[in-house]
């Protein structure tokens, strides 16, 4: 079974540019999550999809961030325009169930975003 | 609010010695607790979880964690550390309140095992 894959693994962009991150969850996983870790801090929740619907987007920092999951398969996270404070590692995760409880999240390797 | 705290930024231990990585939590209701590990340039890997039942939970790679309700702690332990255990460890609590379902992570603890 293929794991969660993220692309690109690294991205270096200038302030003001646009970047799009992609996540392919494990096949059959309806739940898809985006998280972010800024250097040395905790891993923070950004948002949660159930299939193609946004279940919870309370962690999205501002309207420069746009996440989509068309068709309920892969997801993209676009940052436009990027700011210096957006630098960090962006993780995607997927899981099979929601309310059954206890189903661990499966994480991708992350995308390291550097905004200069 | 649901939260976890990892009071140590780094833990150093000699190979073969027991290790403990600390985690305390604050939740409303019964906690669902997790430990994840991140090796260099890799994603987070699930180690173990506590949902209900025995307070001592066994997980991958010989790790275990002890749930202590009175101390609101969920410390990660291993009887004999390996150099290959050196990594970043994250404690997390699942927030399943109405309308949301997500993991809330601590700041992470870097474990360094010396030969």
Instruction: Give the model confidence (pLDDT) of A63-106 as tens digits.
Output: 999 999 988 899 999 999 999 999 999 999 998 875 455 678 89
User: What are the tens digits of pLDDT across the range B51-108?
Assistant: 888 899 999 999 999 999 999 999 999 999 999 999 999 999 988 777 778 899 999 9
Cα–Cα distance measured from residue A47 to residue A57, given in angstroms and rounded to the nearest whole number: 4
pLDDT of residue A98: 58
pLDDT of residue A65: 97
Q: Looking at chain B, which residue has its C-alpha nearest residue A40?
A: B107
pLDDT of residue A101: 57
Q: Kindly state the tokens that stand for A54.
A: 């946004």
- Cβ under 8 Å to B: A residues 61-90: none
A18 CA: distance to closest CA in chain B (Å): 24
Cα–Cα distance measured from residue B18 to residue B34, given in angstroms and rounded to the nearest whole number: 20
| Facing B44 at nearest CB: one of A6, A58, A91 | A91
Task: Calculate what percentage of chain A has a pLDDT beyond 70.
Answer: 94
């Amino acid at each position: 079974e293929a794991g969660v894959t993220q692309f690109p693994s690294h991205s270096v962009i200038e302030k003001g540019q646009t970047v799009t991150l992609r996540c392919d969850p494990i096949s059959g996983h309806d739940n898809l999550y985006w998280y972010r870790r800024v250097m040395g801090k905790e891993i923070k929740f950004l948002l949660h999809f159930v299939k193609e619907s946004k279940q919870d987007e309370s962690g999205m920092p501002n309207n420069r961030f746009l996440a989509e999951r068309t068709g309920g398969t892969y997801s993209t996270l676009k940052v436009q325009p990027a700011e210096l404070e957006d630098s960090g590692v962006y993780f995607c995760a997927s899981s099979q169930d929601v309310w059954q409880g206890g189903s661990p999240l499966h994480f991708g390797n992350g995308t390291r975003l550097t905004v200069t | 609010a649901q939260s976890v705290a990892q009071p140590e930024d780094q833990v150093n231990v000699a190979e073969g010695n027991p290790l403990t990585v600390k985690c305390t939590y604050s939740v409303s209701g019964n906690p669902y607790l997790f430990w994840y590990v991140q090796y260099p340039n890799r994603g987070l890997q699930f180690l173990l979880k506590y949902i209900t039942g025995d307070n001592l939970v066994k997980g991958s790679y010989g790790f275990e964690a002890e749930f202590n309700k009175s101390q609101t702690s969920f410390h990660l332990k291993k009887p004999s550390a390996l150099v290959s255990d050196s990594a970043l460890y994250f404690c997390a609590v699942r927030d399943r309140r109405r309308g949301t379902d997500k993991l809330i992570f601590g700041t992470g603890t870097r474990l360094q095992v010396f030969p």
